[in-house]
Structures are given as C-alpha cells and as structure tokens.
Structure 1
Amino acid sequence: MIDQPAAHPLAARAVRASPALARRARGLSDRAIAWLFITPTIVLLLAINIFPLIWTVYLSFTNYRANQPGRPVEWLGTKNYERILGSEDIWSYLQATAHFVIWTMLLQILIGFGLALLLNRSFRGASFWTTLILIPMMLSPAVVGTFWTYIYQPQTGIFSYIIDFFAGTGPIDMIGSVPLAPWAIIIVDTWMWSPYIMLLCLAGLRSIPDYLYEAAEIDRANWLQKFWYITLPRVLPFLMLAVLFRGIENFKMFDMVVELTSGGPGSTTELASINLKREAFEKWRTGFSSAFAVILFVTVFGLANIYVRALNKVKS
C-alpha cells in the first residue's frame, strides 16, 4: 500500500483555524463585519428619520409653503415659535389634548387593571373571555371611529337608547354636544385600549411567584395587605410601561378622532395633532406647522424622559 504524504504543517494549521482567523485572513475583522451589517440600517434610519427631523427644524424658522415650492423662502428666526406660544387657539388645542390624554389614561388604568385582576383568577372560560376582551384593540382606529358614529346617533344609536333606558333623558347627541363631545372620544378610546393595559398588567400578575402569597398567608396578611405589599409593587413597572406607550400614542391621536368628530363641534375636540394637520395640509403654512410639530416633539420627548427616569427608579 502506498503511504499518503504527510499533510503540510501550514495546511493543518489552516484547517484548525477559527472562523474569525479565516475572516482576518480574507482581510475582514469582526468589527468590519459588524459595520458591514449595521451601515445599511444606519443609512436607512438617517434617510427616514433623522433627515426629515432636521429638515422640519430648518423649515420651522422659515415661511415656506409646500404648495408654493417656487416661492422665495424667507428666514423668520423664532417668529413662528413666538406666534405659536402666544396664540390662545393653540393653547386651547393643547388643553383639549391634555384633557383627552389625562382622562383616557386614568380610565384605562382603572378598567384595564381591574380586568386583569379578574382574569388572573382561575375559572372556566378565562381564555375565551380574555380573547373576547382583546378584540377592540385589534381593530383599526379609523374603523372604530366610524363604527362609534353609528352607536352615538341620537335617534337610532344604541348608546342613546341605553342612556335613555337608565336615566330617562331622552335622545342624547354625544358627538354634536359641546360639553359631551370630549367625553365621546374619551369613551371610545377607553373602550378600544383598556384591553392593552389589561394585557400588560395580566403579564405582570402572572409573573408574581406563588410563594410570596403563601408566605403572606402564613403571616396572616389580609387581601388588602397582599395587594398593597405584593401585587401592586410587582405589577407597577408593567402598568407604568403601558401608561408610557399609551400616553405617547394618545398625545398624537388623530385618525379615530377625525372619523368620530372631525374636531367638532366647532373646535371642542380639535386635538393638537388635528390642528397640525389643518395648518400643514389645508392652510399650507408649512413653516408654521413645522414649528408646531417641533414644539409637540420636544414636549412629548421631555415628558417621556422624565417618566422613564421615574420608571427606572420603580424597577430598581
């Protein structure tokens, strides 16, 4: 039998080389490979997010109009910001937005957390009821707004019928009434997004180990003490996270309110996002609306940062 020639020492070393060494042999380090994969994502983010933001900030200092691209652009400095901060109408839109965000958050916390406590109990059909409750949040906000316009109809809507049955007030126009219209959109948003709060709170409740409650029973703690010292501290980070997400979304709420009330009656339910759309795409005051958008962005970003710091303290 003819003996096989012995493998060359360099060839044997190459066979045993790690993939990292093989890449280096081809001229690519681990850092270069990482940048090769990250660079397209960074470029995409710059093109989609960063550049429009910088462009919006620039336009906020000008009198640019998108429907007149050939018009000479005049640098206004901070005049757009001064007009916005000095406008009583803008402050009324911000007040309507704050009213909407605060009340929806409060109601959604109470209802969502309450539903989570109920569904956390073991009973027959719990999965069915959980799925049924989650249906509203799976619908499109525009569809929900259109759907509830029929429910709110004063003559044929079921909402008016229910109110009349229990209170005997007769037909009630939730959308067309100035004092009731803000509550109309609050009710719809609460109906749609309370299941979202419930879902996160339910995840928090089911992450609590049973031995904590067993130890509390040994110490003869009542249900209120268990809730205050075990349940609430464990669920609070989940609850605060849900409030953060929903607060940001409600601050820029647009489609559901437009389909439901179109900002009316008058400007009663005209939130800041709706007015921003009117300024940008109906009045074509692009520079003015860009300044308004920057103010809203800074407001939401600042409040979110403060809230995240509080959330980190709760988690720690």
Structure 2
Amino acid sequence: INRQFRTHSFWTTLILFPMMLSPAVVGNFWTLLFQPQIGPFNYVVAFFTGIPPTSFSMIGDVALAPWTIVLVDTWMWTPYVMLICLAGLRSIPDYIYEAAEVDRASPLRQFWSITLPMVTPFLMLAVLFRAIENFKMFDMVNLLTSGGPGSTTELASITLKREAFEKWNTGYSSAFAIILFVTVFGAANIYVKAPNQVKNR
C-alpha cells in the first residue's frame, strides 16, 4: 500500500474502514456474525468442518471467547497500526535507498539496515497507543461477551464498572482505578522513552 497504483485511494479507504467504526457498532456487528442460529460465521465453519452450526458458540465457549475478542480487535485496529507504519515508511528519504542500491545492497539488506530501524520508532508508537487502548477497551467486549462466559473475557474496565456501579464498592473501585491509572502512566512512560533510545542507537 506504500506504492502508488491506479486504485490506491480506493483500497486504502477500504482497508481503513474498520478503524472508522465505533466500538459499539463493531461489537453489535460481530455479535450478529457469531450468533449460532443466524450468524454466517458458524455456517462457514460448518461448511468446512461438517460440525452443525448450532452446536457451538464463539462468544459463549470458554475456550473460544478470548480468541473471538482477539479476532475482532485485530480486525478493527490493524488498519490503525498499518497507517502509522505507512507514515513511517513514507518518512524515509528516497536517497537512502538510492545510495544503498549504488552500494549493491540487496532488498533484504535494505530492509534490515534501513527500513526496519527507521520504522521502529513508529512501531513503538503504535504499540504505545494500542496498549493504552487495551486498558480503555470496554464497549466492544461488553457488547460481545459482557466479560463472560464466567470471567473469561473480563477486562479491567469491566471489572471496574461492576465494582463501582453494580456492587457499589466505591472504596475498592477507587483504589482499582488509581492502580489502573498508575499502570497506564508507567507503561506510557516506558514506551515514550524507548523510541528515543532506538533513535539514538
């Protein structure tokens, strides 16, 4: 996608489309897809495996529910990471690659010596944003599984909501929120300093 071609704008927009949707819309959309009775996902799996489509539930099975969250989150946010990486690729001056070609560096050597080191700060930035977003994740998981089955997919945000607004454990929820804030702040501090170290190296 870093190369220009005739339908470049169309494909870029199509790839970035999941990122433009709100988590609530994504949660409802995938909940419908994973419904054992009417969802197309189970019927596709049944077609290839021969398993009855109503015999399993992706969001109701203890073993499958976490992978469902991973699948939906990857579908939604991979375009965002790709966009950051694309910005990193386009920030690399062409003359560096031209100099490498003059030195007869192979494409693989150019990737390891030029592309990857110069894109690494952007990758670290993407990891930082995704880590913070994972701590904030609530809408999508709440709509898909509500933290279930059991507590298999229960996130920190869902636990905080239950303790504060369902059980009314205000002391526990306040302490939990402070710990969560300190954790996010510490992780952000580490990831902010890491790109500078990579850049200096």
SS at match of 1:135: helix
Shift in CA distance, 223/306, structure 1 to aligned 2, threshold 3 Å: same
Correspondence 1:298 to 2:182 = yes
Q: CA RMSD in A?
A: 1.3
The DSSP-based 3-state class of the residue aligned with 1:246 is helix
Query: C-alpha distance in 1, partners of 2:52/2:107?
Result: 43
Q: CA deviation at 1:237?
A: 0.9
Q: Please state if 1:136 is matched with 2:24.
A: no
Normalised TM-score (structure 2): 0.93
Instruction: Please report the TM-score for the alignment, with normalisation by the length of structure 1.
Output: 0.60
Displacement of 1:141 in angstroms is: 0.2
Deviation per residue, 1:153-189 (Å, 9 max, x gap): 1232222223233344442411010000011111111
- Does 2:6 correspond to 1:120? no
**Whole-Å separation in 1 of the counterparts to 2:151 and 2:192:** 33
SS at 1:220's partner residue?
A: coil
Counterpart-to-counterpart distance in 1, 2:17 and 2:62:
30
Instruction: Report the CA distance between 1:134 and its aligned residue.
Output: 0.9
Specify the alignment match of 1:146 in structure 2.
28
Find the residue that maps to 2:163 and give its secondary structure.
helix
The residue type equivalent to 2:17 in the other structure is I
Question: Does the C-alpha gap of structure 1 residues 273 and 217 become closer, same or farther in structure 2, counting only changes over 3 Å?
Answer: same
Q: Does 2:137 correspond to 1:253?
A: yes
Deviations along 1:25-72, one digit per CA (max 9) or x if unpaired, are xxxxxxxxxxxxxxxxxxxxxxxxxxxxxxxxxxxxxxxxxxxxxxxx
Which of 61, 66, 74 is the matching residue for 1:182? 66
> How much has 1:300 moved relative to structure 2?
1.4
Please list every run of 5 or more consecutive structure 1 residues that lacks an aligned counterpart in the other structure. 1-118
**Aligned pairs for 1:1-316 within 5 A:** 119-171=1-53, 172-316=56-200
Distance 1:131 1:155 in 2: 32
Structure with larger Rg:
1
Higher-RCO chain (CA-CA 8 Å, sequence separation at least 6): 1
Within 2, Cα distance between the matches of 1:215 and 1:169?
Answer: 57
> Cα deviation per residue 1:225-248 (whole Å; 9 max; x = unaligned)?
111111111111111111101110
Q: Secondary structure at the residue paired with 1:124?
A: coil
Matches of 1:166 and 1:134, distance apart in 2: 29
Letter in structure 2 aligned against 1:245: F
What runs of 5+ residues in structure 2 fail to find an aligned partner?
none
Amino acid at match of 1:219: D
Decide whether aligned partners of structure 1 residues 282 and 128 sit closer, same or farther in structure 2, where only a CA change above 3 A counts: same
Residue 218 of structure 1: how far off its partner (Å):
1.7
Percent identical residues: 75
